Amino acid sequence: MASGLLAPGLLAFALSACVDKADLPRPVAQGDAAEGLAIIREVGCAACHKIPGVAWPEGRSGGGLAGFGAKPLIAGRLPNQSDVLVQWLIDAPSLDPGTAMPPMPLTRDQARDVAAYLYTLDED
Ligand code: HEC
C-alpha cells in the first residue's frame, strides 16, 4: 500500500541521515508520554523488548529500547522521526516487509502517545 510511495523517499532519507543535528528526534507534539507508557504495558511490547519503566517481562527478541529517543535511525535503517515511528509502531512491515516486528493493535492516537514515551528514553 503506502509503502510503495514511501520507500524511495525513506531510503534516501535514511542514507542521508548521517547525523545531521536537525534530523535528531524531537518530542511528538500531540503525544502523551504517560498515556503511552500505559498503552505499552497494555499491548505487551515488553514481551519482545526490555523497556525502561516496564518491570516485567523483559523480552529479548526485539532488543532493549533504552536510549531509543537519542538514536538517529529506527531499527538501524529508517529515519527516527515521529511520523515514521508512528507508522512503524502500527505496522512495521508496511515500512519494511522483512522486519520481525509485527503490526501492533494501536490507533494512530495511541501510537503517537507510545512514540512520545519512547522519545523520553534518551539515555542508555
Ligand atoms: C513479537 C515481538 C515484538 C513486539 C510485540 C513488539 N516488537 Fe518492537 N521490535 C521487534 C523486533 C524483532 C524489532 C527489530 C526489528 C528489525 O530490526 O527489523 C523491533 C523493533 C522495534 C523498534 C526499533 C528499535 C531500535 O532500536 O531501533 C521500536 C522502537 C519498537 N520495536 C517498539 C515497539 C513497541 C513500542 C511495541 C509495542 C507497541 C513493540 N515494539 C512490540 C519485535 C517486537
* Residue listed under C-alpha cell 502523551: 32
C-alpha 20/C-alpha 96 separation (Å) is: 23
Domain 3-18+30-118, CATH 1.10.760.10 — does that match?
Answer: yes
Average confidence score pLDDT of the chain = 86
CA of 57 to the centre of ligand 1 (A): 14
- Which amino acid makes up residue 109? D
Q: Residue 36: CB within 6 Å of ligand 1?
A: no
Tell me: pLDDT of 1 over 50.
no
Contacts 24+ apart (CB under 8 A), 93-99: 94/1, 94/2, 94/3, 95/3, 95/6, 95/7, 95/10, 97/3, 99/75
Q: Which carries the bigger pLDDT value, residue 22 or residue 29?
A: 29
Q: Is the CB of 104 under 6 A from ligand 1?
A: yes
Calculate how far, in angstroms, residue 118's C-alpha sits from the geometric centre of ligand 1: 11
CB atoms within 10 A of CB 65: 21
pLDDT at 7 over 50: yes
Domain ranges of the chain: 3-18+30-118
Regarding pTM above 0.75, the answer is yes
Q: What is the pLDDT of residues 64-111, one digit of tens each?
A: 999 999 999 999 999 999 999 999 999 999 999 999 999 999 999 999
